[in-house]
A and B are shown apart, each in its own frame.
Chain A
Amino acid sequence: MQRCLGLLLAVACQLPGAIASAAEPPFALDDPQRIEAGRRRFASTCAAYCHGAEGSGGRAPAFKGNAGLTADDAFKTINEGRRGSDIMPPWGNALTPEQIWELVAYLQLLSRQPAP
């Protein structure tokens, strides 16, 4: 709860899909410490579940070299999940917006690397 400093943020914590996705990231997405936090979380959850090491696996497009993946779209997808022929569960109730933005920071780093 300490991250919910005011009413607006408190609401954002309860309704992450509605508000937090429209918010700006609370830190610079090229912050190395945030990228590293995102990398660790990605490896232990996203990679382990579905997306493979450095996003090289999974049924989604590879993250490396994927310049078309904007930060806002990445946040929205992680937050709300996606259902099509496969399932990505929504993470908005499991991770804080800050934790999701850290994942986004890591994905942005991958997107700037050469495609596999």
Chain B
Amino acid sequence: MLTRQLARHALLTAACLTGIGSWAASGPGYDDPDNWPQYHRSYNAWRFSPLQQVNKANVKNLRVAWIHQPGVITHGLQATPIVVDGVMYTIAPDNNVFALNAATGQVLWQYTAKLDPIVKEVFYGSASRGVTVGRGKVFIGTLDGRFVALDQKTGKQMWSTQLTNMKAEYGALFSSPPQLAGNVLFGGTTGGDQPVIGKIFAVNADTGERTWTFEIPRDDPKSWPRDSRKRGGGSAWLPGTYDPGTDTIYIGTSNASPDFNRDDRMGDNLYTATVLALDPRTGKIKWHRQEVPNDTWDFDAAYEALLVPDGQGKTVLAHLNKNGFVYVMDKDTGAMRNAWQYTENMNWAKGVDPKTGLPIDPVHPETDKTKLHCPNLLGARSWNHGAYNPGTKLWYSNGMEVCNHVTSARQEPLTGISQLALGLADIKLVDPPGKKADGWLGAFDPVTGKATWKVRFEMPHLSSVLTTAGGLVFSGDMRGIVHAFDADNGKELWSFNAGSGVRGGPISYAVNGRQYIAVPTGLGSHAPGFLTGAFPQIRDLPGGAALVVFTMD
């Protein structure tokens, strides 16, 4: 073991001597090493930076290079910044978009979206998870239901297309950046918790002209009895990914509505809680895999489609569900290759059949009954994404061990757009039976689920994870401590107190031969509030919004 470690150290040292450049490997995940050009950096959703100037040996020397404060803190910073050729593009609360000099933090331009006043009434307000850059433009999805394109150089608005009817669709809005598939710009809205027909929209990225709309609740009375489809919810509230090799969009969908009551929707409720593979030109389904038929736990299937080598020469799609299982699929057909349990505390089903992908003996909430369900409604992990390192062949992802007591109830008609259709009489987030709720960061073989290491935390991290070719894993906690761990064993090598929690996506990039680590800080989203039931100490944690960028001399 020691010999292997020494050999690895020697390899890393040798690589460092060659400068900042990436590992010798090339291809998806390694390409374009100085930039962070898309949401997960590469289409395979690795969140891996091939840069290695900052490594295990010197990470302790990281210092703050610059800080950007957008001046608005509502729901903190939830974005993953984009960096292209020395310019950082990011988004702050209330759709404030910034282009920054990525070496100094100097503001190059700012765009503030003029939003419909109705946004003030919406439950899912203020927050955005990022922007998309391409075709000379910066694209955002707005809090009042539009796709907007800005000129990449000036920030001037080029086009704006209204896609949702905020009033009629209970405030369905874009909390995530639409993604590019060639000249097609696509994305979905909030809406899984609302009595609407959730949709995925696509427009021409150059003109904003609408091209196709995918209605997530399938028009099928077997899936949706009576008129339940019209209130079936379904949304695609996280960014999808686009595999240019097969010309395929991967995008996951939300739970059905009402979230915790299925009395009026006794069917499989396709295509909610489903991984979709779509043709970007038509929006037609290439294949689909529904992970949670008749979802009554608010589990969704919205998380990232991680494409990883299976060790046998093929690439597979590994997909974490809030329900506590990872589904490993053939990326071209959706056929099951494996299923493994991610969470430690799970009682909603006895397992997942690794051949069919279906839950075994699921225990559904029932009207007027109170049941304990694990994982809780936020999931075995919240939406904060994991990261895959091709050097270690490990997938680093945060988790939480929290359950909820749910009393299901029939859903009364909503009377305002601030309301959600949850189908609840009561809900309480609690400790797992006989244990204290906590969080962890795990390093897994994404295909088999074998854990190499786990680091446990008093409270779960709500930060996305970054891993680098320097052998590092970065994640931030709800108190605002940014941590760097050894990718091989989870040993903490560096930390920094940013003062307010991390909810966004840390990234790494390089400008003029210097590597930077950027961490959006500022505790936000509704998740911390939900979690206060299990972690009362969250109540005293401050909000904030500061993008903190580190480098080394």
Residues of A within 8 A of B (CB): 40, 43-45, 47-53, 56-62, 81, 83-87, 89-91, 93-95, 116
Does B426 lie within 8 Å of A94, measured CB to CB? no
- Measured CA separation A81–B526 after assembly (Å): 15
- Measured CA separation A47–B121 after assembly (Å): 18
- Measured CA separation A60–B528 after assembly (Å): 11
Does A59 lie within 8 Å of B528, measured CB to CB? yes
B416: A residues at CB distance < 8 A: 91, 93-95
Does B121 lie within 8 Å of A90, measured CB to CB? yes
The answer to whether B538 has its CB under 8 Å from any CB of chain A is yes
Does B533 lie within 8 Å of A48, measured CB to CB? no
Q: Is chain B's binding surface mostly helix, strand, loop or mixed?
A: loop
Does A53 lie within 8 Å of B428, measured CB to CB? yes
Give A39 Cβ to nearest chain B Cβ, in Å.
10
The answer to whether B422 has its CB under 8 Å from any CB of chain A is yes
B76: A residues at CB distance < 8 A: 85
Size bracket of the B interface: 35 or more
Given known A-B contacts A43-B425, A47-B426, A57-B530, A84 and B74 have beta carbons under 8 A apart: yes
Given known A-B contacts A85-B542, A90-B121, A93-B121, A40 and B425 have beta carbons under 8 A apart: yes
- Measured CA separation A94–B126 after assembly (Å): 20
Given known A-B contacts A44-B409, A50-B526, A57 and B425 have beta carbons under 8 A apart: no
Does B74 lie within 8 Å of A89, measured CB to CB? no
- Measured CA separation A116–B539 after assembly (Å): 13
B418: A residues at CB distance < 8 A: 81, 89-91, 93-94
A49: B residues at CB distance < 8 A: 123, 420, 422, 526
**Residue of B73, B76, B414, B418 most packed against chain A (CB within 10 A):** B418
Q: Of B523, B526, B530, B543, which is within 8 A of A84 by CB?
A: B543
Q: Of A56, A59, A87, A90, which is within 8 A of B126 by CB?
A: A87
Does A52 lie within 8 Å of B426, measured CB to CB? no
The answer to whether B419 has its CB under 8 Å from any CB of chain A is yes
Does B425 lie within 8 Å of A44, measured CB to CB? yes
Supply 25 A–B pairs (Cβ within 8 Å), ascending by A: A44-B422, A44-B425, A44-B426, A45-B420, A47-B428, A48-B420, A48-B422, A48-B426, A49-B526, A52-B532, A53-B427, A57-B530, A57-B533, A58-B539, A59-B528, A62-B539, A81-B120, A81-B418, A85-B542, A86-B75, A86-B524, A86-B526, A86-B529, A87-B75, A87-B126
- Measured CA separation A87–B125 after assembly (Å): 7
Does A53 lie within 8 Å of B533, measured CB to CB? yes
Q: Of B73, B415, B427, which is within 8 A of A95 by CB?
A: B415
A87: B residues at CB distance < 8 A: 74-75, 123, 125-126
Specify the chain B residue showing the minimal Cβ separation from A80. Answer: B120
Does B529 lie within 8 Å of A57, measured CB to CB? yes
A61: B residues at CB distance < 8 A: 539
Q: Of A52, A62, A86, which is within 8 A of B428 by CB?
A: A52
Does A59 lie within 8 Å of B73, measured CB to CB? no
Specify the chain B residue showing the minimal Cβ separation from A40. Answer: B425
The answer to whether B429 has its CB under 8 Å from any CB of chain A is yes
Does B533 lie within 8 Å of A52, measured CB to CB? yes
